Amino acid sequence: MCGIFGYVGTDLDAAGLVLRALKQLEYRGYDSWGVAVAHDRRVVLQKQTGKIGEATAALPPSTVGLGHTRWATHGGVTQPNAHPHVDCAGRLALVHNGIVANYRELRDPLTRSGHRFRSDTDTEVITHVLEACLAQAPDGPEQLLKATIAAFRQLKGLNAIAVLDVRTGQIAAAKSGSPLIVGWGEGATMLASDYSALLDHTRRVTFLDDGQAVLVTRGSGRLFDVETGCELAPEIAEIPWDRAATELAGYPDYMTKEIHEQPATLRRIAATSRHHARQLAALIGQARDVFVIGCGTAGHAALAGQYLLARIAGHRVTFATASEFQYLQDFVTRGSLVVALSQSGETIDVIDAVRAARGRGASIAAVVNVEGSTLWRFADHAVPLMAGPERCVLSTKTFAAKLAILMLTAYELARQGDVGCACIINAADEIERLLAGDRRDLIRRIADEISTRDHLFVIGRGPSYPLALETALKVKEVSYVHAEGFAGGELKHGVIALIEPGTPCLVLAPRDETHDDILAGAMQVKARGDMLIGVSPEPHEAFDYHIAVADLGPATAIVNAVPGQVLGYYLALLRGHDPDKPRNLAKSVTVK
Ligand code: F6R
């Protein structure tokens, strides 16, 4: 979703630096962008709708700049609605992530007192609130900070704001909910909503907590508590990845790169994550009851975790979609454990769910890819996914990583950690073979055949049911072909009505206890003219296409996600879509 980058330093090309940083935030999803610099004590702006693409900074030299990528919430995708927003006096340029819940109440008195609004956004209201606060704040080096804190206290909702003051050359920021990170560079201090915008300058960062504000001046950044106004000592952390990890490294796009990084990710987990899995297993073993939650792909991994923990460790955990978990919280008590899965660690539905659960006395364990993210810092116990940066909007390698961590945890719970590691390595080897050989070409041919069809159905039972949901999600979000995943047994309870001659149906049929029943279901759709694509160790007479996946016991689930990823990818290409940036989607969903 929206991205923020601010720079206060010595380089006169602040505009260029901000624009390059915004390009690093593109993967989060956005529909307009803007940059402001301080020049001759004036705000100079460049704002545009659409993608940054090959745009270059057309702004005068300055050592202070602030930029934003906007994913529209309040107000359409127009140039005036793009951030930064400037106050009436032309002294402030402000950017914002989040939603100001009380923006109407704030706007009316401002309009009456003569403030001129130029956009339809909730954000511009903050600019004018801040302008009014600035008029009240005493002159001096902390004037901007004090006004920012005073304005921020008036906002309702989850927000992160950053404001550039052309008179002082400072940037002040404050946050509740949406992420903000201070980057400590050589002779420059930066501010970003995502670590990847900072990596060209530094890996030394401070993650702002909710209710904190920062005043960024050249070579310094001072942290404050919004409620008390007291200064705080910043905690410095090191980002575990460098810029190279975020580059394409010869791949045509990030989706391909990240699909191919799955074997290495799995081997890394097998080699280094046992102690994390053991600790998580101990927490699960001790808890009175355990809930596993996540959204989207992370939710599918959580559901798979429910099956894996039951089958491997005989342990019952309850899956819930994070956005629905609030409606089940009556059962969460002291002694409950909530295991939250998230790539970004910023998904608002997950953060809200764990906050509420902690309020009821539960402990929180998080399985997260982005170390230092909100969820990571909030959790009582955090397990890193170790997948490296994931920049394609679609989750692929982090899905494999979540399954591997949960599988290893289940094996640790069953006191068979060695078996767990061996399973994960087997899955890594099989994915490598699948991606290197004929099977990838076969999936490309299947994509060719079905690329003009309107629907794809995917069925699986037991541990393959979450895989059916995940396969369908991958296909539909990147190719826009309507795809639905079902529990195999559910087909004849309604969905079978949709089957027409030639409708493709992908059947997940590993050699486990679901094998015979899922094939029986497949035969029923075949009898109605369906085109069957079987994903299973051996062929079957009903399959029109057979994607062979070795029998790896529970680890088959990790491999069985890959055909859907590759199919979705080829369908996207054939239908002319950018696989890295599907329309309307954002990498990190920080608003409800
Ligand atoms: C789908 C996808 C999304 C995310 C979901 C949760 O490919 O990426 O469904 O899984 O938005 O995001 P995280 O894992 O960051 O909490």
What is the chain's pLDDT, residue by residue, as a tens digit (592 residues)? 689 999 999 999 999 999 999 999 988 778 899 999 999 999 999 999 988 887 888 899 999 999 999 988 888 899 999 999 999 999 999 999 999 999 999 999 999 999 999 999 999 999 999 999 999 999 999 999 999 999 999 999 989 999 999 999 999 999 997 889 999 999 999 999 998 899 999 999 999 999 999 999 988 999 999 999 999 999 999 988 888 888 999 999 999 999 999 999 999 999 999 999 999 999 999 999 999 999 999 999 999 999 999 999 999 999 999 999 989 888 999 999 999 999 999 999 999 999 999 999 999 999 999 998 999 999 999 999 999 999 999 999 999 999 999 999 999 999 999 999 999 999 999 999 999 989 999 999 999 999 999 899 999 999 999 999 999 999 999 999 999 999 999 988 888 888 888 889 999 999 999 999 999 989 988 888 789 999 999 999 999 999 999 999 999 999 999 999 999 999 999 999 999 988 877 777 777 7
2, 295, 423, 505: the active-site residue: 2
- Out of 1, 71, 194, 295, give the residue to mutate to test ligand 1, the one with the largest number of ligand atoms within 8 Å of its CB: 295
Q: Is 230 a catalytic residue?
A: no
Distance 398 CA to ligand 1 centre (A): 9
Q: Whose CA is nearest to atom 5 of ligand 1?
A: 296
265 and 146 in a common domain: no
Q: Is 584 a member of any domain?
A: no
Ligand 1 contact, 591 CB (< 6 A) = no
Q: Is 232 a member of any domain?
A: yes
* Nearest residue to 4 via CA among 579, 583, 592, 590: 590
Give the range of the structural domain holding residue 513, as residue numbers without chain letter: 437-578
Atom of ligand 1 nearest to the CA of 398: 14
Q: What are phi and psi of 499, to 5 degrees?
A: -75, 125
284 and 417 in a common domain: yes
266 and 233 in a common domain: no
pTM to 2 decimals?
0.89
Ligand 1 contact, 560 CB (< 6 A) = no
Distance 546 CA to ligand 1 centre (A): 29
Ligand 1 contact, 297 CB (< 6 A) = yes
Region of 51 please: left (phi>0), alpha (psi -120 to 50) or beta.
Answer: beta
145 and 18 in a common domain: yes
- Beta strand residue intervals within 479-576, DSSP E: 482-487, 504-508, 531-536, 545-548
Polymer length of the chain: 592
Distance 237 CA to ligand 1 centre (A): 25
Give the DSSP H or E segment for 183. strand 181-184
447 and 405 in a common domain: no
Radius of gyration from C-alpha coordinates of the chain:
25
Ligand 1 contact, 394 CB (< 6 A) = yes
Distance 296 CA to ligand 1 centre (A): 5
Q: Is 257 a catalytic residue?
A: no
278 and 212 in a common domain: no
Distance between CA atoms of residues 162 and 3, nearest Å? 11
Q: Where residue 288 sits, what CATH number does that domain have?
A: 3.40.50.10490
Q: Whose CA is nearest to atom 11 of ligand 1?
A: 296
Domain-ending residue, one of 192, 220, 239: 239
Atom of ligand 1 nearest to the CA of 399: 10
427 and 452 in a common domain: no
Ligand 1 contact, 404 CB (< 6 A) = no
280 and 334 in a common domain: yes
46 and 114 in a common domain: yes
352 and 461 in a common domain: no
